[in-house]
Amino acid sequence: MNSQHDKNVSLTRRDFIKVTGTILLVAGLGDQPARAEGASQGCTLPGQFLLQADGIPPADGYLLVDIAKCQGCMSCMLACSLIHEGVESLSLSRIQIMQDSFASFPDDLTIEQCRQCVDPACVTICPTGALAADPDSGNVRIVDKEACIGCGLCFQACPFTPSRAVLAPDDEYDGQAKSRKCDLCTNAPFHWVAAGGGPGGQQACVAVCPVGAILFTDEIPEQDGDSGYRVNLRDEVWGILGYPTS
Amino acid sequence: MNGYAGKILRLNLTERTTSIIPTSDYEQWGGGHGIGSAIFFDLVPDKTIDGFDPANVVTIMTSPLCGTLVAAAGGRTEVQGIGVQSYPIGWFTRSNFGGRFSAMLKYAGWDGIVIEGRADEPVWIDIRDEDVQIRDCASLSLWGTNTWECQQSIWRDVVGNGSYGDWFSPRGPRNGHTTQRPAVVAIGPAGENLSRVACLMHDAGNAAGQGGFGAVFGAKNLKAVSVIGTGHIEINDPRMLLETRLWHKANYAFDLADLRVLSTSYQFQDPPVPIALWAQGRPPIGQRPQSCLGCHSGCRARFADGKGNEATCFTTAFYPDAASLDIQRATSDLINHYGLNAPELIWGLQYIRFLHQDGLLGTGGIPPCPLDFNTYGSWEFVEQLVKMIAYGDDGSGNESQFGADISNGFVRAAERWGRLEEDLDSGILLFPYWGLPVHKEPRAQGYWGYGTLLGDRDINEHGFDWLKTLVYVVAPEEREATAEGIVKVITDRMVPFDGDMEMLNFSESNIYSEHMAKLVSWQRYYTRFWKQSMLFCNNRWPDFLNANSPDQLGATGIAEPAYVKAVTGQDISFEDGVYLGRKIWNLDHAIWTLQGRHRDMVHFVDNIYDQLPRVSVDAGIPDVHMPGIEHGRWGFYGYSQRTLDRDGFDEFKTRFYRLQGWDTTTGYPTRSALEALDLGYVADELEQQGKLGDL
């Protein structure tokens, strides 16, 4: 499920022009180190995070999931779009539950969450620096929507399937395509507590999950394979309810 | 219109056309059932038509809460139209199923679907956001498939050249994308062959079981409705919705770190333990709970062998004498595949076993039965029985009058065999109201049977059912205080009848009283709006008592309006909702009256008045203990070992009709009652048809 493969995505002509133009722009910037120096001195240009592309610090937080414990209610997905966009939408959710009613446990369901990769391809490829590790938010990989040009390269570059970057029209930008990805609820306009989210705060999917199938951790999970992110969160109480614990 | 998609899809299968009804035209009814009834009233000028008539209109409705984070309300779908299961006629009726269909419909931009007419060839409906197509079944060879095969074929078609597990755009490039499979509601062979006990199936185990809507679909040549939505639902106050859900979770839902209730997942407080009623329990294999969209506590499961996936409740109670657990679990799948109503099969199989035991099959008016009762308990036996009902034959493709008879339901079969009255009276045919299978014991839980008789179907509303379990958990010395205390806190919530504790006094002296009329009325009103229009789950709501809350009180009365406010912005108080429920209930009653309902028709079969339950405490069946006052003291008393009194029930009807403001002689609605509910146009129609009552 998580191997890289051809993405089934189509960019609009407008998007293609943007991508092309952006590539040209970035190529040009690549030849101008002085531009990068400006960014490091607090320049507010959209590309201010470009300097981090070659030395991206790890994030301070990660989501782990227990696929065998999930009951498929998709409350996490509903909470995700609700807290970020203020609407209910499965298509906007940064965490994706996919299930097949007729299949056998445990292959009937999977949870695909952003891994906040230590080596994040989505950040590396972003031509404008809109997708970057935000030092003010525990280096969580965050999309700056103002800077995002909706090119879809992050969507393409994500090594996992489905892509953890979600590319969709944004009503706040007149329907212009914008990328979204899990920010651990850092930039969540509808967060329910004043302190908000991020690695030091609360994440909506973790808080709302009825069975505790999603866990936040500040420890870097094993990056190779799935084992670091897919964990066993089932305790003896789960067993008392008649479900496997191992 | 926060919470609403804003438009309702209207389909004319005869003309193969689609059009739009603005939801705002019907928003005053809330959603779900209210809107469905109002649309049905407007679009069906002749309410006396048969359910198989192409002019029958089927509505499939959502609520503003569907597809949202509201706990135990996000995934229900309400289906209405003239049914074909009840007897002597198919009443205008309702059914309801869980899962994710209603949510997906709203993500596609639709609040509901209205289906009229009859296609000239078998068709299915393909909804991809705003794109709607009425497609022939032939290209996918859907007609003849079982409900699971049908859904999987449609899934493959919708994803096109891609595969599930990745993002894809159901309407092609440049349009919205999703990772989800479409939500499909389909009929199986039973519906195609117009079995009156055929249901609608969605995913593996969500069934709209009552009313015979599978056959109504079949009569319309409609195999399935598929919907995939990539859009979103606007929410009035997203923060408030999330806060409300988390408040609800923290104070009323189960907590795995502090589990106070270990029960199957019925009430709001219960943990996610599937309602799997297989005689030998759940299999000791890998499994997970599985819930409707947005629910906090899954009441179904999926298993490591894929058998019995999402089967629940009655579907798992069928065929308890199966030779093995595997056979019974496979039987659950079997009736879901063929698309059949499980309670009908449970009591129908019991009926023909009684007939077999008495040597009556193949004698008198009963045709020979193809079943070999020596193999009862085997897979072969139940498979043949299910096929007989689904196909109306001998289960092997050969003509069989017996199979054709039971395919019409067991009450109509008994009528054809000339045995209806005798077998209803004796109790071997346990279908005590409107030709429908028994559910809760009418002698003990009067409100259940009364509500069914005064309505159109087994009410299947569990809001007070759990009271009968308290006798097993409360120590004898505490029962008086507990019963009185519980009755008080419950009845205090039952606006506008709050404070009348006698509503929950099930003693012999009270079961035909004004108090009981209030209880039945309250349940009819509450459920019509909050559960069937706003689509709060039947099992979870109302939540009166809750072991997880600090004061042991449930969230009913507080949570429902709070959620509606957060999603829609509307200030609908709990009592407002009950009032709207009364309005919807009156509209439904007007439709039944136009269909021919009269007070004289509203009665149980004689067995309920004349005999104790056939299966009694003498046979080891537990008595049904409900709250009551005996010798001046509250307690939980066994009330199933009694008969109902004909005159008493007749007096109850008078009290009930008077409470509604209806004509106590005929049961017809009155102009004053209808106009008080802003239903003057309904009174006009009744008057025109000579069905308007006098006070």
Would an 8 Å CB–CB cutoff place A215 in contact with chain B? no
- Cα–Cα distance measured from residue A199 to residue A176, given in angstroms and rounded to the nearest whole number: 29
Best CA proximity match to B110, nearest among B131, B140, B80, B138: B131
CB contact under 8 A, B239 and A73: no
Residue A22 has pLDDT above 50, yes or no: no
Quick one: tokens of B144? 């003849």
The single-letter DSSP state of residue B275 is -
The single-letter DSSP state of residue A43 is -
Would an 8 Å CB–CB cutoff place A176 in contact with chain B? no
User: Which pLDDT score is estimated for B303?
Assistant: 98
Mean pLDDT calculated for residue range B423-428: 96
pTM: 0.94
Name every chain B residue with its beta carbon within 8 A of the beta carbon of A89: 107, 231-233
Q: How many CB pairs under 8 A join A and B?
A: 201
- Cα–Cα distance measured from residue B520 to residue B235, given in angstroms and rounded to the nearest whole number: 34
- Residues 6 or more apart whose CB falls under 8 angstroms from that of A54 comprise none
State in words which class domain B446-540+573-688 has: mainly alpha
Residue A1 has pLDDT above 90, yes or no: no
Residue A32: band (very low, low, confident or very high) from pLDDT cuts 50, 70, 90? very low
- Cα–Cα distance measured from residue B41 to residue B30, given in angstroms and rounded to the nearest whole number: 16
Residue A39 has pLDDT above 90, yes or no: no
* Nearest by CB: B288 against A71, A82, A86: A71
Best CA proximity match to B531, nearest among B77, B5, B188: B77
Torsion, CA B412, CA B413, CA B418, CA B422, rounded to 10: -80
Least confident of A42-51, A84-93, A126-135, B313-322: A42-51
Residue B65 and residue B567 in contact, taking contact as beta carbons nearer than 8 Å:
yes
Query: pLDDT for B517-551, tens place per residue?
Result: 999 999 999 999 999 999 999 999 999 999 999 89
- Cα–Cα distance measured from residue B29 to residue B26, given in angstroms and rounded to the nearest whole number: 6
Would an 8 Å CB–CB cutoff place A178 in contact with chain B? no
- Cα–Cα distance measured from residue B453 to residue B434, given in angstroms and rounded to the nearest whole number: 7
Would an 8 Å CB–CB cutoff place A106 in contact with chain B? yes
- Cα–Cα distance measured from residue B663 to residue B676, given in angstroms and rounded to the nearest whole number: 15
- Cα–Cα distance measured from residue A74 to residue A78, given in angstroms and rounded to the nearest whole number: 6
Best CA proximity match to B563, nearest among B99, B31, B69: B69
Mean pLDDT calculated for residue range B220-236: 98
* Nearest by CB: A243 against B74, B230, B287: B287
Residue B541 and residue B65 in contact, taking contact as beta carbons nearer than 8 Å:
no
Specify the residue for token string 């394979």. Answer: A225
User: Which pLDDT score is estimated for A108?
Assistant: 98
Residue A17 has pLDDT above 80, yes or no: no
Residue A65 phi, psi dihedral angles, 5° rounding: -135, 155
Mean pLDDT calculated for residue range B287-310: 98
Would an 8 Å CB–CB cutoff place A7 in contact with chain B? yes
Domain B7-228, architecture per CATH: 4-Layer Sandwich (3.60)
The SS3 of residue B565 is: helix
- H or E stretch at B485: helix B479-493
Residue B531 and residue B461 in contact, taking contact as beta carbons nearer than 8 Å:
yes
Query: pLDDT for B369-408, tens place per residue?
Result: 999 999 999 999 999 999 999 999 999 999 999 999 999 9
Name every chain A residue with its beta carbon within 8 A of the beta carbon of B311: none
CB contact under 8 A, A192 and B246: yes
Residue B689 phi, psi dihedral angles, 5° rounding: -95, 5
- Cα–Cα distance measured from residue B439 to residue B445, given in angstroms and rounded to the nearest whole number: 10
* Nearest by CB: B246 against A101, A207, A244: A207
Residue B149 has pLDDT above 70, yes or no: yes
Strand positions, DSSP E, B117-234: 123-128, 131-136, 183-186, 200-202, 206-208, 222-228, 233-234
* Nearest by CB: B234 against A78, A83, A87: A87
Would an 8 Å CB–CB cutoff place A16 in contact with chain B? no
Secondary structure, 3-state, B402-432: HHHHHHCCHHHHHHHCCCHHHHHHHCCCCCC
Residue B123 has pLDDT above 80, yes or no: yes
Residue A80 and residue A92 in contact, taking contact as beta carbons nearer than 8 Å:
yes
Name every chain B residue with its beta carbon within 8 A of the beta carbon of A79: 69, 242, 245
The amino acid at residue A59 is A
Rg (CA), chain B: 24
Cα–Cα separations (whole angstroms), residue B48 to B55, B88, B197 = 11, 13, 21
Query: pLDDT for B622-669, tens place per residue?
Result: 899 999 999 999 999 999 999 999 999 999 999 999 999 999 999 999
Q: How far is B521 from chain A (nearest CA, A)?
A: 33
- H or E stretch at B97: strand B92-97
- Cα–Cα distance measured from residue A97 to residue A214, given in angstroms and rounded to the nearest whole number: 12
User: Which pLDDT score is estimated for B615?
Assistant: 67
The single-letter DSSP state of residue A24 is H
Residue B299 and residue B274 in contact, taking contact as beta carbons nearer than 8 Å:
yes
Secondary structure, 3-state, B454-465: HCCCCCCCCCCH
Residue A94 and residue A180 in contact, taking contact as beta carbons nearer than 8 Å:
yes
Best CA proximity match to B504, nearest among B478, B467, B531, B475: B467
User: Which pLDDT score is estimated for B622?
Assistant: 83
Mean pLDDT calculated for residue range B607-630: 86
Chain A contact probe: residue of B4, B62, B63, B69 with most A CBs at under 10 A: B69
Specify the residue for token string 């096109």. Answer: B160
Angle (nearest 5°) at CA B54 between B197 and B102: 65
Would an 8 Å CB–CB cutoff place A91 in contact with chain B? yes
Quick one: tokens of A120? 């994040």
Name every chain A residue with its beta carbon within 8 A of the beta carbon of B172: 10
Name every chain A residue with its beta carbon within 8 A of the beta carbon of B148: 102
Mean pLDDT calculated for residue range B199-219: 98
Chain A contact probe: residue of B146, B241, B288, B568 with most A CBs at under 10 A: B288
User: What average pLDDT is seen over chain B?
Assistant: 97
CB contact under 8 A, B177 and A212: no
- Residues 6 or more apart whose CB falls under 8 angstroms from that of B414 comprise B351, B420, B423, B424, B429
The total number of residues written for chain A in this structure: 246
- Cα–Cα distance measured from residue B659 to residue B680, given in angstroms and rounded to the nearest whole number: 19
Residue B614: band (very low, low, confident or very high) from pLDDT cuts 50, 70, 90? confident
Specify the residue for token string 């503003």. Answer: B64
Higher local confidence (pLDDT), A32 or B210: B210
Best CA proximity match to B89, nearest among B556, B368, B435, B399: B435
- Cα–Cα distance measured from residue B72 to residue B497, given in angstroms and rounded to the nearest whole number: 26
Domain spanning B249-426: CATH 1.10.569? yes
Residue A36 has pLDDT above 50, yes or no: no
**B175 CA to centre of own chain:** 36
- H or E stretch at B641: none
* Nearest by CB: B272 against A7, A10, A71: A71
Q: How deeply is B258 buried, as exposed, middle or buried, from its count of CB atoms within 10 A (0-12, 13-18, 19+)?
A: exposed
Residue A31 has pLDDT above 80, yes or no: no
Q: Chain A, 181-200: which have a CB under 8 Å from a chain B CB? A: 190-192
Residue A5 has pLDDT above 50, yes or no: no
- Cα–Cα distance measured from residue A233 to residue A245, given in angstroms and rounded to the nearest whole number: 8
Residue B289 and residue B184 in contact, taking contact as beta carbons nearer than 8 Å:
no
Residue B599 has pLDDT above 70, yes or no: yes
Secondary structure, 3-state, B4-47: CCCEEEEEECCCCEEEEEEHHHCHHHCCHHHHHHHHHHHHCCCC
Domain ranges (residues) in chain B: 7-228, 249-426, 446-540+573-688
Best CA proximity match to B91, nearest among B53, B59, B34, B49: B49
Specify the residue for token string 């096929």. Answer: B387
The single-letter DSSP state of residue A28 is H
Q: How far is B40 from chain A (nearest CA, A)?
A: 29
Mean pLDDT calculated for residue range A131-148: 97
Best CA proximity match to A121, nearest among A112, A109, A133, A137: A133
Mean pLDDT calculated for residue range B278-286: 97
Residue B617: band (very low, low, confident or very high) from pLDDT cuts 50, 70, 90? low
Specify the residue for token string 């066994």. Answer: B638
CB contact under 8 A, B74 and A7: no
CB contact under 8 A, A72 and B69: no
Residue B619: band (very low, low, confident or very high) from pLDDT cuts 50, 70, 90? low
Quick one: tokens of B442? 């009418």
